[in-house]
């Protein structure tokens, strides 16, 4: 199997055929009340929908609650909780915690600071709340009540130039990585 990628001369993809935005990203929670308190009261995302459902799914009748927390572009973070403990175990998270598995949300510096302040004043999970300066962005990280790691990201000034360069060299950079060239290309740090 050929794992080679196209070179940087590949024409850019037209945006007209792309999905327009994220609709929602779904996770399983074991505690809808704690999830609501975290996302609405601490992070500031409004609860925009709650669906209480019973459906024949995957060969069995399943009863669950599906909540949605709104983002500024109309998309949402969504959470399922099942009535049946067996369903909860079957569909719930099974992977150990990894800082490389997270969802990143773009915010302004003011929104990031407001979230950080609400995390501090609530005493929320200080051992898993931290800031990383990536150079091209500043990120505030924290884990939600379900162990899902969230990143609230503020782009650095001038990031448009960095983004343009990364887009221009994306295929060539991947190709060089795949062929063993692992030197950093992050000149922002």
3-state helix, strand, coil in the chain (%, to 5): 30, 30, 40
Q: Return d(Cα 174, Cα 182) in angstroms, integer.
A: 10
Kindly list the averaged pLDDT for each block of 10 residues, start to end, along the chain of length 189.
45 68 90 95 95 89 94 94 92 78 92 95 88 91 92 90 85 87 81
Per-residue confidence (pLDDT) for residue 189, from 0 to 100: 67
List of residues 6+ apart from 134 with CB closer than 8 A: 186, 188, 189
Prediction pTM value: 0.78
Helices (H) and strands (E) in the chain, counts: 4, 8
Q: Return d(Cα 155, Cα 166) in angstroms, integer.
A: 14
Per-residue confidence (pLDDT) for residue 51, from 0 to 100: 93
List of residues 6+ apart from 136 with CB closer than 8 A: 155, 156, 159, 162, 186, 188
Which residue segments constitute the domains of the chain, with CATH numbers given? 24-155 (3.10.180.10)
List of residues 6+ apart from 133 with CB closer than 8 A: 189
């Amino acid at each position: 199997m050929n794992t080679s990628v196209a070179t940087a001369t590949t024409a850019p993809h037209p945006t007209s055929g792309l999905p327009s935005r994220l609709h929602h990203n779904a996770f399983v929670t074991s505690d809808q009340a704690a999830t609501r308190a975290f996302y609405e009261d601490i992070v500031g995302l409004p609860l925009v929908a709650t669906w209480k459902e019973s459906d024949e799914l995957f060969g069995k009748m399943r009863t669950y609650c599906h909540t949605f927390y709104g983002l500024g572009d109309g998309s949402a973070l969504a959470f399922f909780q099942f009535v049946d403990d067996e369903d909860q175990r079957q569909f719930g998270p099974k992977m150990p915690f990894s800082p490389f598995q997270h969802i990143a949300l773009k915010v302004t510096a003011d929104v990031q600071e407001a979230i950080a302040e609400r995390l501090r004043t609530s005493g929320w999970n200080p051992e898993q709340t931290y800031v990383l300066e990536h150079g091209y962005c500043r990120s505030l990280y924290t884990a939600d009540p379900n162990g899902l790691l969230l990143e609230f990201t503020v782009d650095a000034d001038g990031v448009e130039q960095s983004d343009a360069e990364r887009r221009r060299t994306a295929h060539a950079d991947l190709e060089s990585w795949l062929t063993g060239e692992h030197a950093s290309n992050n000149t922002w740090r």
